[in-house]
Amino acid sequence: MVDPTLIDADNSITYDALVVGAGVIGPCVATALARKGKKVLIVERDWAMPDRIVGELMQPGGVRALRSLGMIQSINNIDAYPVTGYTVIFNGEKVDIPYPYKADVKPVEKLPDLVKDGNDKVLEDKTIHIKDYEEGERERGVAFVHGRFLNNLRNITAQEKNVTRLQGDVIEILKNEAKEVIGAKVNIDGRGKVDFKAHLTFVCDGIFSHFRRELSPEHVPTVGSSFVGMSLFDAKTPVPMHGHVILGTKHMPILVYQISPEETRILCAYNSPKLPGDIKTWMANNVQAYIPESLRPSFDKALAQGKFRSMPNSYLSARQNNVTGLCVIGDALNMRHPLGGGGMTVGLNDVVLLVEKIGDMDFSQREKILDELLDYHFQRKSYDSVINVLSIALYSLFAADNNNLRDLQRGCFKYFQRGGDCVKLPVEFLAGLMPNPFLLTRVFFAVVFYTIYLKFEERGFLGLPFALLEGIMILLTAIKVFTPYLLGELIG
């Protein structure tokens, strides 16, 4: 039975903002704008807690964005699990990569009207501790059961007096004769198809967005690979409170991270959008042997049960929001490979920047809003390009399917083993704390030239001609992997 308050939204008024979708980004947009005094309608197909395996690990950059929005307490009281860094395992060898020190990154920005009464600080609960998140020396990420986190975000939104929640299917983005967006048509149980008007319509309907094409018919993601996931229970991870990237020359990347005191997520990469016909056999033949020993009991038990989940790995470069009355944001606008866990970090930082740009403006001044949205598109490139390009580059290296990429994979791991800046800078990019695409380029090619150096060292003096040829091929491969995506993100 649907809560009557979720279907009685007033359609006789013009809202300042209409938000389509109540995934991670929608509630943050609605809450932020409501705190800025805007009258907001947020529409969601189903307000019940979802059960999904996406959006389970948030990098420190995303945690900081939640602080800026005054919504950090959404990670409380859901058995969320702290994340303090990464462990990379390559052919059985491992290197630990902790998150950066707080002193090495900029202080968290507190947005006016949004941050108040301590809502930028975590609360103490069974798994999230004030001394760690507020007083600890290093930045922290967090992992959680997605649905529990989403429920918290939605509950925060529900408490805002300027927000009206509506349950229904958005079936059309409404436009006037000038092709400007003026709201949305919603199919509501018991009410039928109802038109709602708004000065500004935010499309936040996620990975499988129905309305991203309102920007352009060509705004469509590409899907090149998949993840097959399982839940491991009572697993003993190699390094507590770390995300794990398990690599090897004979298998695809495997991700492991704990999402609650009892549950650990494992994601196994499959280099095709179409999954194998017999997933259980594929996992037994291509994954099982490469699972670290401490994880094998929980992995073997989960494999025997055969409860598999899957998700497509999509890429979509952002387009300008150049339609009057429309703002596409979150995964509806921009996606990257989930290997780096950067999706929520990009989306939440987009919300922070958006509020800074237009939060205090009159939304009825639609042309002025459009000008700011065009400017916003270029300002967001500093962080989104780093996270997006890094995700693609890492996946290309970690899922190496030719000898040059395998050499780069090994070179990358050996580079991490050097320690110091060789792990400090890469983890700042991964954590969403270093929005500098040109520094990312420098670090990426430092890895490339270190890989070439290893080739020369391995070949010795007599093998110099072979090493030179291999070095040239490695460099060309690296350029092919990295450069098109970087240029696409910065120029597109």
- The pLDDT tens digits of the residues spanning 171-201 come to 999 999 999 999 999 999 999 999 999 999 9
CA distance 78 to 300: 27
Residue 454 and residue 430 share a domain? yes
Which pLDDT band holds residue 247 (cuts at 50, 70, 90)?
Answer: very high
Q: Is it the case that residue 142 has pLDDT exceeding 90? A: yes
Helix, strand, coil share of the chain (percent; to 5): 40, 25, 35
- What are 260's two structure tokens? 């609650």
Domain that holds residue 165: 4-79+100-219+316-381
- Can you tell me the mean pLDDT for 354-369? 98
CA distance 289 to 309: 20
For residue 271, the tally of other CB atoms under 10 A from its CB is 13
Among candidate residues 268, 290, 315, the one where a domain is terminated: 315
Residue 346 and residue 274 share a domain? no
Query: Which amino acid, 94?
Result: K
Residue 88 lies in a domain: no
Residue 290 and residue 327 share a domain? no
Residue 373 and residue 325 share a domain? yes
pLDDT, position 26? 98
CATH of the domain at 213: 3.50.50.60
Q: Residue-wise over 26-64: b if at least 16 C-beta within 10 A, else e?
A: bbbbbbbbbbbebbbbbbbeebeeeeebbbbbbbbbbbb
Number of domains making up the chain: 3
Residue 227 and residue 149 share a domain? no
Mean pLDDT of the chain: 96
Instruction: Please count the residues of the chain.
Output: 492
Query: Which amino acid, 283?
Result: M
Instruction: Calculate the alpha carbon distances from 253 to 148, 277, 361, 398, 427 in Å.
Output: 27, 20, 46, 6, 18
- What are 358's two structure tokens? 């237009």
pLDDT, position 464? 85
Residue 331 lies in a domain: yes
Among candidate residues 315, 330, 345, the one where a domain is terminated: 315
Which pLDDT band holds residue 4 (cuts at 50, 70, 90)?
Answer: confident
Q: Identify the DSSP state of 199.
A: E
The alpha carbon of residue 41 and the mean position of all alpha carbons in its chain are separated, in whole angstroms, by: 25
Residue 297 and residue 375 share a domain? no
Residue 227 and residue 214 share a domain? no
Please answer whether residues 383 and 349 qualify as being in contact, where contact means their C-beta atoms are separated by less than 8 angstroms: yes
- Can you tell me the mean pLDDT for 319-328? 97
pLDDT, position 432? 97
Q: What angle do CA 457, 463, 464 make, to 5 degrees?
A: 75
Residue 410 and residue 364 share a domain? no
Residue 215 and residue 331 share a domain? yes
Q: Is the dihedral of CA 130, 135, 137, 141 positive or negative?
A: positive
- Can you tell me the mean pLDDT for 414-420? 96
pLDDT, position 286? 96
Please answer whether residues 225 and 269 qualify as being in contact, where contact means their C-beta atoms are separated by less than 8 angstroms: yes
Q: Is it the case that residue 39 has pLDDT exceeding 90? A: yes
Which pLDDT band holds residue 233 (cuts at 50, 70, 90)?
Answer: very high
Q: For the segment 68-80, what is each residue's pLDDT rounded down to a tens digit?
A: 999 999 999 999 9
- Can you tell me the mean pLDDT for 130-151? 98
Please answer whether residues 398 and 245 qualify as being in contact, where contact means their C-beta atoms are separated by less than 8 angstroms: yes
Residue 94 lies in a domain: no
Q: For the segment 255-290, what is each residue's pLDDT rounded down to a tens digit?
A: 999 999 999 999 999 999 999 999 999 999 999 999
Residue 91 lies in a domain: no
For residue 398, what are the contacts with CB-CB under 8 A and spacing of at least 6?
245, 247, 253, 269, 339, 409
pLDDT, position 460? 83
Residue 281 and residue 187 share a domain? no
Share above pLDDT 90 across residues of the chain, in percent, rounded to a whole number: 93
Q: For the segment 291-308, what is each residue's pLDDT rounded down to a tens digit?
A: 999 999 999 999 999 999
Among candidate residues 270, 294, 315, the one where a domain is terminated: 315
Coil, helix or strand at residue 92: coil
pLDDT, position 420? 94
Q: Is it the case that residue 1 has pLDDT exceeding 80? A: no
Q: Is it the case that residue 242 has pLDDT exceeding 90? A: yes
Starting at the earlier edge strand, list the strands of the sheet with 85-90: 93-98, 85-90, 242-248, 251-258, 263-270, 222-233, 309-315
Q: Is it the case that residue 316 has pLDDT exceeding 90? A: yes
pTM higher than 0.85 for the full model?
A: yes
- Can you tell me the mean pLDDT for 31-58? 96
Q: At what angle do helices 381-398 and 366-379 cross, to 10 degrees?
A: 40
pLDDT, position 463? 79
- Can you tell me the mean pLDDT for 110-134? 98
Residue 87 lies in a domain: no
pLDDT, position 54? 87
pLDDT, position 391? 94
pLDDT, position 467? 87
7 class by beta-carbon count within 10 Å (0-12 exposed, 13-18 middle, 19+ buried): middle
Query: What single string gives the DSSP state of each residue in 212-278?
Result: GGGT-TT---EEEEEEEEEEEES---SSTTEEEEEEETTEEEEEEEE-SSSEEEEEEEESSSSPPSS
Helix (H) / strand (E) containing 468: helix 464-491
CA distance 107 to 344: 20
Q: Is it the case that residue 2 has pLDDT exceeding 80? A: no
Residue 198 lies in a domain: yes
Please answer whether residues 344 and 352 qualify as being in contact, where contact means their C-beta atoms are separated by less than 8 angstroms: no
Residue 17 and residue 35 share a domain? yes
List the one residue out of 163, 121, 119, 141 whose CA is nearest residue 29. 163
Residue 230 lies in a domain: yes
355 class by beta-carbon count within 10 Å (0-12 exposed, 13-18 middle, 19+ buried): buried
Residue 487 lies in a domain: yes
pLDDT, position 157? 98
pLDDT, position 282? 97
224 class by beta-carbon count within 10 Å (0-12 exposed, 13-18 middle, 19+ buried): middle
- Can you tell me the mean pLDDT for 157-170? 98
pLDDT, position 3? 86
pLDDT, position 465? 87
Residue 373 and residue 483 share a domain? no
